[in-house]
Amino acid sequence: MWTSGEILEGEFLTLLGPSGCGKTTTLRMIAGFEDASSGTITVQGERIEDKEPYQRDVNTVFQNYSLFPHLTVFDNVAYGPSIRKVPKAEIRQRVTEMLHLVQMDGYEKRKPDALSGGQKQRVAIARALINNPRVLLLDEPLGALDLKLRKQMQIELKRLQRKLGITFVYVTHDQEEAMTMSDRIAVMRGGVILQIGAPMEIYDRPNCRFVADFIGESNIIDGTVRRVDGKRIEVETADGIVLTQGEGFREGEKVCVSIRPEYICLSDTPREGFTLHARIKDFIYMGTVIKTSLDLPHGQELKLSRFEADPTLHEGDERYIWWDTEKSVLIHMEGGAV
């Protein structure tokens, strides 16, 4: 496993990737539960890779909360400060503050068993934050909550992070969650960070096929660069020539073109520039959007999404498709062989 990346002070960084990509392992290495086989981990200039977990100035919110079942909510939150021998009166005050911060006032005497999933989550966050960590690590903390509570907690967590200014490193496999909350996202696969950047940057400018495919939905068409004209690039695909844009590509190079479903345009007549021929395969109603599948002559299937249904469109209809060159992304083939 090879990971390299820098976390900025006070940012909300998300490690995003499919299960088994090494995001939790990375988090556990920062926390100290897993040994890094080589390399260093530095927090604010201080090397911590040889320190024991209890010596590190980072705290974790665990996937299954891991609240101590034999302790009350108060004692759970007070655990960290009580170990550092903080005076009792100060602990009492800090715990009260923390429980107020996560909106759990009045639950001090409850045992974790008597809390709902969302409440346990809040206590777990308070228990970690009370220690004023330099970095707060969150390992899929919302994974066990239902969708609605999850959305609510996403917003709350984000606000909490803004308010406290503590660096959050958040692990999730849910790309929507990553998009909503993060300042920056690091997309991981096979223990390697493929791309790190702001959500919008990752979405609009994926640097490899995997990122394009994993973040949101994308149509990926393989082809060969036919002509390079400054930033304008002509790519020859099995279904015809398409125009796209990019930098640092050579003629004859194998590439793939990524185009988001919402950017594909349909028309009855061919258009200047480039057009591909497509046949409407089927429609899927998804609530907010309608997804349309298109077949290209050589068997490639493209997805197209719209907010409204087009009443003139029927299954089996033939159309011309095109897109704004600016909206498509050209990706080197070697960077993204899945």
> Contact positions toward other proteins, by CB under 8 A?
31-33, 52-54, 58-60, 62, 64, 66-70, 79-80, 83-84, 127-128, 131
Q: Between residues 102 and 211, which has the closer beta carbon with respect to other proteins?
A: 102
Distance of CA 255 to the CA centre of its chain: 25
Instruction: State the nearest-atom distance from the C-beta of 135 to other proteins, in Å.
Output: 12
Instruction: State the nearest-atom distance from the C-beta of 66 to other proteins, in Å.
Output: 4
Q: Between residues 56 and 209, which has the closer beta carbon with respect to other proteins?
A: 56
Instruction: State the nearest-atom distance from the C-beta of 208 to other proteins, in Å.
Output: 34
3-class SS at 135?
strand
Instruction: State the nearest-atom distance from the C-beta of 90 to other proteins, in Å.
Output: 16
Rounded to 5 degrees, what angle do the CA atoms 24, 30, 34 make? 65
Distance of CA 100 to the CA centre of its chain: 29
**E strand or H helix at 127:** helix 117-129
Instruction: State the nearest-atom distance from the C-beta of 173 to other proteins, in Å.
Output: 19
What CA–CA distance (Å, rounded) separates 113 from 69? 7
Q: Between residues 132 and 245, which has the closer beta carbon with respect to other proteins?
A: 132
Q: Between residues 60 and 172, which has the closer beta carbon with respect to other proteins?
A: 60
What CA–CA distance (Å, rounded) separates 325 from 8? 34
Q: Between residues 34 and 213, which has the closer beta carbon with respect to other proteins?
A: 34
What CA–CA distance (Å, rounded) separates 120 from 114? 9
Neighbours of 79 (CB within 10 A): 17
- Looking at the DSSP bridge assignments, the partners of residue 277 are 320
